[in-house]
Structure 1
Amino acid sequence: MEPSTDIGKLLRYALRMEETGRDFFRENSKKFSHGGVVEILERLASEEEKHIEFIKELIVGLERGQDFSTKEDLGTGPGSFFSQRADSEKLDQTALESMIPACTVLRMAYLIERDFVDFYQKLAQRAKGKLKKALLMLSRWEREHEKFIKGYHDRLLDQYVHMPWGG
């Protein structure tokens, strides 16, 4: 099997993973009435949409034998999610919601992003040149999402376990 064929299959698999992640975030954002969790999930769905478009470009480039894009930034990362103040306010709003479902969904979101990090790093090990660079970039973007979600989840869970009334 040619390396490009193998990479092409893996990129199509990555595309499907990103679509599944986007759908998970969209569907779960509808389960909450307000607060930070809704905004986080909607933003993550939007970020995954950017990743989907980027991967589609990689697939087309691979199929045409073209050089790959190495966009340095698609507007991803924790800085584009919220300012510090907005992040804090959203955590306070979430305390008004049922916190157990919010923590559970955020945990799943974290695991999805963590899996993406590992997947893109392994895929990059099979690639060369600009494609490798693009895959490592995707891994870095997912790592930023992972860290942001984990921090938010951990703060929310800590707030929940310290509530005298149980959330």
Structure 2
Amino acid sequence: MKNSKEIIAFAMNMEKQGQKFYESFADQVDHPEAKKWFEVLAETEREHYEILEKQYQQLDKDGTWLPIESLTADMDPGLFENRSQREKIAPGDTKHSLSDLSVLRMAYLIENDFAEFYKKAMDQVSDEVGKQTLQALFEWENEHRRVFYNEYRKAMEANWFEQGFSPF
């Protein structure tokens, strides 16, 4: 990436694709709680896109970064707490079908790519406010990555044992 606007434009595209993924796969997972989880994450990715869009507009206007707090100022004050609670909707210890495994793995890989992108983008930005904004986005995506990884492992292991297979 050559400049901050290019980083944000690329990130906007990633977030939009993530939203579309979660929306399309919400109807394809078998587990009802997984469906809710994907719906919540689609909304979260939409929120990320809107934050990035505001940042892009500011960078386009005068080349400066807006602090993450100002990008989220006109949103519901409880948004991030509420979102954090909504994202905790997870299938937990309940049984996933085998078809859920591939969807969970794809979701993990998407969130992994998002987190890694934001982490690397921080090194390409010299503006301290820009680094803080990208750091916040990295932390959000890193949490999604962690949750999906844990859920994928649980689902995979549950299906192994049902199939009579144990790698241990």
Q: TM-score, normalised by structure 2?
A: 0.81
Which residue does 1:63 correspond to in 2? 60
State how far apart, in whole Å, the 2-side matches of 1:80 and 1:33 are: 19
Q: Is the 8 A contact 2:67 2:132 kept in 1?
A: no
State how far apart, in whole Å, the 2-side matches of 1:54 and 1:154 are: 31
Which residue does 1:82 correspond to in 2? 88
Aligned-residue offset at 1:80 = 3.9
Aligned length: 155
Q: Is the 8 A contact 1:78 1:144 kept in 2?
A: no
Is there any run of 5+ residues in structure 2 with no aligned partner, and where? Answer: 73-77
State how far apart, in whole Å, the 2-side matches of 1:146 and 1:78 are: 14
Which residue does 1:147 correspond to in 2? 146
Describe the superposition over 1:18-37 as per-residue Cα deviations: whole angstroms up to 9, x where unpaired.
10111011101111354222
Question: 1:10-21, aligned counterparts within 5 Å?
Answer: 10-21=7-18
- Is 1:102 matched with 2:100? yes
Aligned-residue offset at 1:159 = 1.1
Q: Could you tell me the percent identity over the aligned residues?
A: 23
For the structure 1 residues 113 and 74, does the alpha-carbon distance in structure 2 shift closer, same or farther, using more than 3 Å as the test? farther
Q: Is the 8 A contact 2:19 2:41 kept in 1?
A: yes
Describe the superposition over 1:69-99 as per-residue Cα deviations: whole angstroms up to 9, x where unpaired.
323895277654226xx653xx42xx2x6x2
State how far apart, in whole Å, the 2-side matches of 1:126 and 1:117 are: 15
Question: 1:116-127, aligned counterparts within 5 Å?
Answer: 116-127=114-125
State how far apart, in whole Å, the 2-side matches of 1:115 and 1:35 are: 26
SS in 2 for 1:75: helix
Q: TM-score, normalised by structure 1?
A: 0.81
Aligned-residue offset at 1:45 = 0.6
Describe the superposition over 1:32-58 as per-residue Cα deviations: whole angstroms up to 9, x where unpaired.
354222122111111101110110111
